[in-house]
Amino acid sequence: MRWFWPPVAGLVLLCAGCTTFNTSTDDVVTFVFTQPTTECEVFVGNTSYGNVSISKPAIGIPRGNDPLRISCAAIAYAPISAEVSILRTRDQKLDVLGVGVPTPQALGARVAEPIERVTGPSPIRNPLSNEKTGYPPRITVDIAQRSVIVPSGWQSRM
């Protein structure tokens, strides 16, 4: 029995920094840092969801449309702040049978609340009414170059 406790204590210490995510309601955002001393605080609106660093690079954020704000600092560099959001352009197109069809937003139409939200979820996905939501899966922070790099379809503003 005495040999059992050291491995258990080691496992507890190892998993002390582990985080679990609810992927059905949260988006997991992974941060990549070019400077190893970088640490960022992650916000949505005025709510802080915690800090990320090289030792804890991923964070779970409840899905939504509000911009993700990050405030980063690293040893020997000036702090930076950025806002990450979905890239929305007036010329959004949707591929329908291989043909690019402008979305109602691209045509300047005022899009009303989809009926499926009033009557409940529809088993058939309506691609014109469901826009991209949530947060990017990966964000790269280069505090030396004062830049925040996000995947295609997302934008970052300093």
1 pLDDT band (50/70/90 cuts)?
low
Look up the pTM and report it.
0.62
What's the N-to-C CA distance of the chain in angstroms? Answer: 57
Reply yes or no on whether the pLDDT at 35 is more than 70: yes
In a domain, 102, yes or no: no
Q: State the Cα–Cα distance between residues 135 and 25, nearest whole angstrom.
A: 12
Position 117 in a domain: no
Residue 153 lies in a domain: yes
pLDDT tens readout for residues 51-102: 999 999 999 999 888 899 999 999 999 999 999 988 865 555 555 565 665 6
Q: Which range marks the domain in which residue 73 is found?
A: 20-88+131-157
In-domain check, residue 56: yes
Count of domains observed in the chain: 1
CA dihedral 16→68→141→56, nearest 10 degrees, is 0
Q: Does any domain span residue 74?
A: yes
Residue 7 lies in a domain: no
Asked, for residue 126, whether it belongs to a domain, the answer is no
From the list 145, 148, 32, the residue with the least C-alpha distance to 85 is: 148
Q: Is there a domain that residue 31 lies in?
A: yes
pLDDT digits 0-9 by tens, 103-139: 555 444 444 444 444 444 444 444 444 445 678 999 9
